[in-house]
């Protein structure tokens, strides 16, 4: 697709991978809206990168529906949804509390479903569109301490395959991009603040991958793409 003047929505777009994706799409000529739960961070990021800000919690159905209405009104349509919003927690199974587990699934799984559902309803009417889910290599194998986060990413991968099976007949492309570890602030709330490390993936690496797969001619698409650092050193 040609990204020039395309309308895109990036959830969780104020920092990290989401912000880099929004910036890459804007640089390519797209009109971009971003969602963030916290108004202050949203306003700062939107002003800095030139995106339209929408305060929303993707895990809430009313917010997802309001977001789509605003996108269609402000951008005049939607061509690309990037499901990037996500949280993570890493604890042994026996220490995983219900509230944290449910919150992880609410944002990483339910939120992605709600946003994709609203986008798909619009895309089906147009008989075209693109849904990009930002997954993780955590969806490929389990690991100790990963009950909530790894479980959520397994679920997202499964939903992606279901949506792809349903939506291809409507000329809707559904992508899954699985980064391995990326140096962002993602791990800080879970108590795992990463250190700067040039040997590991950076947010802009994932943004470049996403831009490349979108720009393939609409007659084809890359269903799933996994991104590893070449030779990371701790």
CATH number at residue 79: 3.40.50.720
Q: Determine the straight-line distance between the first and last CA of the chain, rounded to whole angstroms.
A: 38
13 inside domain: yes
Phi, psi of 4 (to 5 degrees): -60, 120
Tens digit of pLDDT for each residue in 109-141? Answer: 999 999 999 999 999 999 999 999 999 999 999
- Identify the domain containing residue 110 by its residue range: 7-227
**What's residue 180's pLDDT?**
96
**What's residue 187's pLDDT?**
58
Catalytic residues: 149
Q: What is the mean pLDDT of residues 37-56?
A: 97
In sequence order, the β-bridge partners of residue 173 are 130
Tens digit of pLDDT for each residue in 154-200? Answer: 999 999 999 999 999 999 999 999 999 999 876 555 555 678 899 99
Least confident of 20-34, 45-59, 184-198: 184-198
Q: What is the mean pLDDT of residues 11-36?
A: 98
114 inside domain: yes
1 inside domain: no
213 inside domain: yes
**What's residue 191's pLDDT?**
53
232 inside domain: no
2 inside domain: no
233 inside domain: no
68 inside domain: yes
Q: How far apart are CA 129 and CA 55, in angstroms?
A: 23
Q: How far apart are CA 75 and CA 32, in angstroms?
A: 8
Domains held by the chain: number:
1
């Amino acid at each position: 697709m040609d990204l020039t003047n395309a309308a895109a929505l990036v959830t969780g777009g104020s920092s990290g991978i989401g912000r880099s994706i929004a910036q890459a799409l804007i640089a390519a000529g797209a009109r971009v809206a971003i969602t963030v739960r916290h108004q202050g961070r949203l306003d700062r990021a939107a002003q800095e990168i030139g995106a339209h800000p929408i305060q929303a919690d993707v895990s809430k159905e009313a917010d997802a529906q309001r977001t789509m209405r605003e996108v269609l009104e402000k951008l005049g349509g939607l061509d690309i949804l990037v499901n990037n919003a996500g949280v993570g927690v890493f604890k042994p199974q026996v220490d995983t509390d219900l509230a944290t587990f449910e919150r992880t699934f609410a944002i990483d799984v339910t939120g992605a479903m709600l946003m994709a559902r609203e986008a798909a309803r619009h895309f089906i009417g147009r008989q075209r569109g693109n849904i990009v889910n930002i997954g993780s290599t955590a969806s490929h194998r389990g690991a100790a301490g990963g009950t909530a986060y790894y479980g959520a990413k397994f679920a997202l991968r499964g939903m992606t395959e279901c949506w792809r099976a349903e939506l291809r007949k409507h000329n809707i492309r559904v992508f899954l991009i699985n980064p391995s570890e990326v140096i962002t602030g993602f791990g800080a709330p879970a108590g795992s603040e990463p250190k700067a490390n040039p040997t590991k993936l950076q947010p802009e690496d994932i943004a470049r991958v996403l831009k490349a797969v979108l720009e393939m001619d609409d007659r084809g698409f890359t269903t799933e793409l996994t991104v590893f650092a070449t030779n990371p050193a701790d």
